[in-house]
Amino acid sequence: MDALLSVEPLFRMQHWGKGLQRPLWGLLIAASMAALLLLLHAAGALQRAEHISHDQRMVWSRAGTTLHPAVAVVLIDEASLQALDPLVGRYPWPRAVYADLIDFFMLAGARAVVFDVLFTEREGEAGDRRLAGATADSGRVVHSFQLFRDAVTATGRPADLPDDFVRRHAVSAPGLAYSGRNNRFVLPQGELYRAAAAMGVVDVEPDRDGIYRRLRLLHAYDGAVFPALALAPLVEAGPPAGGPRGIDLLGREIATAGGQGVLINQVADLQPYSFAGVYASIQALHRGDLAGLLVSPEEFADKIVFIGASAVGLADIKATPLSPKAPGVTLHASLLSNLLADDLLIPTPSWLTPLLVVALTLMTAALVLGSARLYLQIAAPLLLAALYAGWAVWRFQHDVVYEMAAPLAAILGTAVALWAFIAATEGRDKRRVRAMFSQYVSPAVLNRLLDSSGALLQAEIGQAERLSVLFSDIRGFTSISEQLHPGQVVDLLNTHFSIMSEIIFRHDGTLDKFIGDAIMAFWGAPIRVAQHAEQAVRAAVEMHRGLDEVNRHLHEKGYPPIAIGIGVNTGETILGNIGSARKLDYTVIGDTVNIASRLEGLTKVYGLGIVVSEYTRAELPATLPCALLDLVRVKGKEHPLAIYAPLGLPEDGAETLAQAWAEARLIDEAFGHYRARRWDAALAQYRRLPDHYATLRTLFVSRCEAFMLESPGEAWDGVSVLTSK
């Protein structure tokens, strides 16, 4: 026994080592997935998925939004081209048309007029002078120009911008360092840019998928910095400056993305005015027909008015997250609206996404590997992904942009990798455990065992466990077998074992082995339960009562009836796969097992079907009637052991249960007199026992009579010494 106990630390070390394999593999898988996703993220491989998530969030959060009240848009649409054709000719229209438009907006009290129209070609002296004059007279007109990079001439020096253009329209941008790559430009004629209050760059670049989501606020050219068209009307309020995360403008910091690109919080409904309607109102004013105004000038009071094109033939159609065919002016007007409403999208810091990837892979690994149930292993990472996605959508609605592609890929990728790992490892383990345990436990217990990852480890290695062990043996089997030929003996045993095994399985017991005509079973492993002693005793009572069914089958076959004895003990055991490389048994060994076997032998001495130890009795509920039979000292042990007989179950009928309790009290009182050396009182009580306690009655009557004739001596402690196993 000491040798067996000495291997316990080794068993625990093996258990500890194998138990560490799962989290270590999980950590390795999570780390590998995090590293892969960080590489993909850095290489831009997840950008397309991120764009899709960004666009979908934009659709959800910006539906129905309109421009800031201080911004208005006038569109040169298809209807305008058709309406103005008979009046001023085909597009491009004379410059006087735009000059009239400026005069109209100045009459209305507009804060600024911003043209997303390039006047780069000369029309003629009169027309050009008319537009330049209207621009100069207003003092509030912003015209547009282009800066771009010509790849053909990229190796040469950038073309020189006119000095007066740079002096008039370049902005001071303290703290902002630009390495501008632009080397070519397209400007309106000199009279026009000299007359303009400001000039804005109209160039915008789509993302790789061709969708426009961001816009540069500032553009560099040969050391000079110029504002984007959306920013140009605001530059006079104060020059932009460099900030920790972007550009300081109008007293607040504007976070930038992709260099100096700002994510546009797209406006869904520009509520635009048709150029034709405005021009018709101008014509009505010229005629003095105030009642014929389609658009009242008052609608443009104190507004920044953008003029742009939406007609397809004018080639200024852009794909945005909200529309595949949006007017290009949408980008500039939306961004200016964002600036005025302080409604810009704020991207999270660049370091946050890698941190989230690492954190979420580890969280996913912990959730999957920390869950014993398959449905939890599947549901937990899906719930985590849903929570993160919900958080990202909610924060987007509050203008904070969390990346979604890489973090969600971290969760789902790690989960899939771990599911595959579990299927490959635990599936193999479960198949091995199923093959090993199917002969020991019921299908229900086997399924619970396979759901328990810890039990899979216990199935492989040994450890100390507190269990309840049952031994059952057929009384007088040798003499019975001598009456039958070998085939009948096997048939008798199979009949008995089949019924008894089902009872053991019904009470969630583990069928250890058949030893000749004996049955060994235990409770408390491989599935740990707190009430293993009660389960074992309940099984013992039902096995004893199940003899009626066994004997009925034996009678039908012409075999003699049998009787059994059952012993149950509870205590520490060594549990594990024990045997050789060729043959292993999942079994228990130790003193607890030996005592259970000896208790089964004591059933013959006391003439009872079931005997349990004091350790088992201590763990039984008070509602289960038991009688104290004796104190015994088994061979090789100094400490006396109290033995009991369970006489019924709490769910027995009231009459049966009342009789069991009455008999238990009678036996307890008789043994109490016996230990106190009150021989006459003990004799009287034992003689009152019913006939089904005849052996117990005879045993103690003879003991009392013997002690009455010859005193056991002062050293007698009421303990019976067993000299055999």
pTM of the entire predicted model: 0.63
- Model confidence at 227: pLDDT above 70: yes
Show the CA angle centred on residue 502, arms to residues 497 and 504, nearest 5°.
90
Residue range(s) defining the domain that contains residue 126: 54-347
The pLDDT, as a whole number, for residue 371 is 81
Structural domain includes residue 437: no
**Segment 420-460, tens digit of pLDDT:** 888 777 655 555 555 555 444 445 444 544 555 444 445 44
Only one residue has tokens 């043959």, namely 583
Percentage of the chain with pLDDT > 90? Answer: 59
The helix (run of H) or strand (run of E) holding residue 522 is strand 518-523
Q: Which residues does 479 contact at the CB level (< 8 Å), separation at least 6?
A: none
Tens of pLDDT, residue by residue over 466-505, are 999 999 999 999 999 989 999 999 999 999 999 999 999 8
Which among 108, 76, 75 has a CA at the least distance from the CA of 299? Answer: 108
Q: Which residue has the higher pLDDT, 572 or 240?
A: 572
Region 606-628 average pLDDT: 95
What's residue 219's pLDDT? 87
Are 661 and 714 members of one domain? yes
Using CB atoms within 10 Å of the CB of residue 637, give its burial: 0 to 12 exposed, 13 to 18 middle, 19+ buried. Answer: middle
- Asked, for residue 442, whether it belongs to a domain, the answer is no
Average pLDDT, the chain: 85
**Which of 406, 430, 454 marks a domain boundary?**
430
Cα distance between residue 22 and residue 450, in whole Å: 16
Place of tokens 């670049």: 205
Domain boundary among 601, 618, 635: 618
Longest CA span, the chain: 150
Using 50, 70 and 90 to split pLDDT, how confident is the model at 17?
very low
CATH number assigned to the domain comprising residue 488: 3.30.70.1230
Report residue 51's pLDDT band, with 50, 70 and 90 as the boundaries.
very high
According to the model, what pLDDT value does residue 36 have? 93
Q: What pLDDT sits at residue 320?
A: 93
Residues sharing a CB contact under 8 Å with residue 347, sequence separation 6 or more, in sequence order: 255, 257, 263, 401
Pair 566, 537: CB distance under 8 Å: no
Out of 590, 618, 646, pick the residue that ends a domain: 618
Average pLDDT rounded to a whole number, residues 74-92: 91
**Nearest CA-CA partner of 273 in 124, 73, 29, 557:** 73
Q: Tell me, what's the pLDDT at 1?
A: 35
| Most confidently predicted of 281-295, 339-353, 483-497 | 483-497
Domain assignment of residue 445, yes or no: no
Say which residue, 585 or 20, is predicted with more confidence: 585
pLDDT for res 572: 93
**Comparing 379-388, 575-584, 703-712, which segment has the lowest mean pLDDT?**
575-584
Higher pLDDT, 85 or 315: 85
Q: What is the band of 584 on the pLDDT scale with cuts at 50, 70, 90?
A: low
Q: Which two tokens stand for residue 573?
A: 């055991």
Instruction: Please name the residues in contact with 686: beta carbons below 8 A apart, sequence gap of 6 or more.
Output: 670, 674, 696, 697, 700, 701, 704
In 89-213, alpha helices (H): 95-108, 125-138, 163-169, 190-195
In angstroms, rounded to a whole number, what is the distance separating the alpha carbons of residues 569 and 596? 5
pLDDT-derived band of residue 199, with 50, 70 and 90 as boundaries?
very high
Q: H or E stretch including 42?
A: helix 8-43
pLDDT given for residue 4 in this prediction:
33
Domain match, 404 and 502 both:
no
- What is the Cα 378 distance to its own chain's centre? 8
The mean pLDDT value for 596-604 works out to 93
Q: Say yes or no: 41 and 70 in one domain.
A: no
Query: What percent of the chain clears pLDDT 70, i.e. is strictly above it?
Result: 85
Q: What is the pLDDT of residue 477?
A: 92
Could you tell me if residue 456 is inside a domain? no
DSSP state of 608: -
DSSP 94: P
Asked whether the CA dihedral 589, 592, 595, 597 is positive or negative, the reply is negative
Same domain, 586 and 689: no
Torsion angle of C-alpha atoms 653, 656, 660, 666, degrees rounded to 10? 140
Judge if 601 and 631 occupy the same domain. Answer: no
pLDDT in the model for residue 554: 95
- In this predicted structure, the answer to whether residue 269 has a pLDDT above a threshold of 70 is yes
Q: Are residues 631 and 513 in the same domain?
A: no
Q: How far is CA 342 from the centre of its chain?
A: 36
Helix (H, G, I), strand (E, B) or coil at 93: coil
Say if 681 falls within a structural domain: yes
**Is 479 part of a structural domain of the chain?**
yes
Contact 227, 198 (CB under 8 A): yes
Q: Are residues 665 and 698 both part of a single domain?
A: yes
Strand, helix or coil at 3?
helix
Q: Which pLDDT score, from 0 to 100, does residue 292 have?
A: 73
Average pLDDT over residues 104-119: 94
The DSSP result for 465-506, as a single string, is EEEEEEEEEETTHHHHHHTS-HHHHHHHHHHHHHHHHHHHHH
In a domain, residue 239? The reply is yes
Question: Are the C-beta atoms of residues 450 and 430 closer than 8 Å to each other?
Answer: yes
Residue 724, pLDDT score: 58
Q: Domains in the chain: how many in total?
A: 4
Strands 317-320 and 323-327, bridge-based pairing: antiparallel
Residues 659-681: b if buried by 16+ CB within 10 A, e if exposed: bbbebbebbebbbebbeeeebeb
Contact 140, 112 (CB under 8 A): yes
pLDDT for the residue 2:
39
Q: Give yes or no: residues 426 and 383 share one domain.
A: yes
Quote the pLDDT of residue 665: 96
Q: How far apart are CA 300 and CA 112, in angstroms?
A: 10
Beta-carbon contacts of residue 229 (< 8 Å; ≥ 6 apart): 114, 116, 142, 144, 200, 201, 202, 332
Query: Do 307 and 371 fall within a single domain?
Result: no
Query: Looking up tokens 């003996």, which residue turns up?
Result: 489
pLDDT at 411 over 90: yes
Is residue 204 domain-shared with residue 99, that is, in the same domain? yes
Residues 120 and 192 in one domain: yes
Same domain flag for 574 and 642:
no
Q: Assess if residue 152 is contained within a domain.
A: yes
